[in-house]
A and B are shown apart, each in its own frame.
Chain A
């Protein structure tokens, strides 16, 4: 019975999906409250003890599970039931290729802290991200409601447009790191990059591709239909758009899939652009040697594993904070602005980014 894959799957499901996603709902409430100079939701209590409102996610789950499950009259029941699943499953299975840590040797066992170390990891994420578009499209259509249909159509057009640009923006990173395997990408950022030969910088993707980072963050936030790109679920325009006719836990699934994708976005950006599990300026060997001189090598490797995992989670939470910041400071874009941003601004810029990256690589490698 292979223990390792089971542990990894359980970790992803229990810690990342069930554990962190409700915490993000709390983060959203509290961060928006702090940004808007108010207190936020803090009434949910357990016999009088409110821990800063941390019980609200639990209250949310209980509320959603006990609500009545309404299926509209003329709706297609099968598709209406399936679309929250089609939206949620790609978000969850994207966790399989994200590296939470490097490769660690304990005597003769090697532990690789990643679910599936596939060679084309980044392509896998884009492939299943393109399937996630169906959840919104089918939700919009199967609700037998004009507003839902409008939301669904807008969502599908937005999502397939931004898939294209999302792929093109990471081609620059691909050219720099020469690999699509996310573990190798994180490993390549575990060193120091000497700017002009004298300034040491961590060899992170954001140093090599700053424009790529900005464009990728924009494109993938638009793909997730997060504000400011939340035209499909525009609350003030089309009354919650494609998930209008969903209530109870089905709406909960849509809601959760959006928040799980926030974690995916944070984890992806952290892995590709912010160095993944790598501590800046302290590469793995430096850490292990420093600790191994005091305690044994086995203990040093274990502690290094924990340090790397903690660094990765710290970066994930920083990116979640950045996404929340963007969500609560920017107003919603108009639909034609969203589309023109994709096709007229990000697409030409990403192609120019590829061109300039290629030129720089040619000049640097050609001369060295």
Chain B
């Protein structure tokens, strides 16, 4: 087992633990958000082991450093916390739904992992794979329309968020 593979499993397990921490924190939203940060950074490390370096850096910067901070902002500004566990019978339904989801998940996982078909990953990668040079070239030559549409989408999101969050004066 190469160091790359070991690190993949370590950070993969860390990502799953972070996701579970996010889901199972019933009383404290800030702790949920911090578990989500753990998941995001662990996924960034997983991308590094998969040799997608620019995507890893952007994942940590944007997801871990901006999106979850935005969540934390809103939680702290509004001082949010609700009573998570619903009364009586509904609690049973919620947990039953969760358990059903878990069972489907285990079934799917058994289907994926149980079939050792011959998909071998190429060991030699092209030079500069996952680096910013190649990704930049791809973004600005083949996918320049996608970049422009993404910028328009961001503009629409900024305007939309501003209007939604604005306090009405008077």
Contacts and interface: CB of A to CB of B under 8 A. Distances in A.
Does chain A touch chain B in the assembled complex, meaning CB atoms less than 8 Å apart? yes
Interface stretch (B54-62, B95-103, B157-165): B54-62
Contacts of B66: 130, 160, 163
A133 B34 contact: no
A153 interface: yes
A276 interface: no
Interface string A130-166: 1101100110111000000100110011001001000
Contact of A130 (B31, B53, B61, B73): B61
Contact of B60 (A78, A130, A180): A130
Given A120-B131, A127-B44, A127-B60, A160 B54 contact: no
Interface in A273-317: none
Contacts of B73: 153, 156-157
Contacts of B41: 131
Contacts of A153: 73, 76-77
Contacts of A119: 53, 131
B72 A126 contact: no
Interface residues of B, number: 23
Nearest to A119: B131
Interface string A71-101: 0000010110010000000000000000000
B65 to A, nearest CB: 3
Nearest to B30: A141
Contact of A131 (B64, B77, B131): B64
Chain B at the A interface: SS class: helix
Contacts of B42: none
B132 A180 contact: yes
A119 B77 CA distance: 39
A138 to B, nearest CB: 7
B69 interface: yes
A128 interface: yes
A123 B54 contact: yes
Contacts of A333: none
24 contacts: A79-B30, A118-B53, A119-B131, A120-B53, A120-B131, A127-B44, A127-B57, A127-B61, A127-B65, A128-B60, A130-B66, A131-B64, A131-B65, A134-B37, A134-B69, A137-B76, A138-B30, A140-B76, A142-B30, A149-B76, A153-B73, A153-B76, A156-B69, A163-B66
Given A76-B30, A119-B53, 4 more contacts: A120-B131, A123-B61, A131-B41, A160-B65
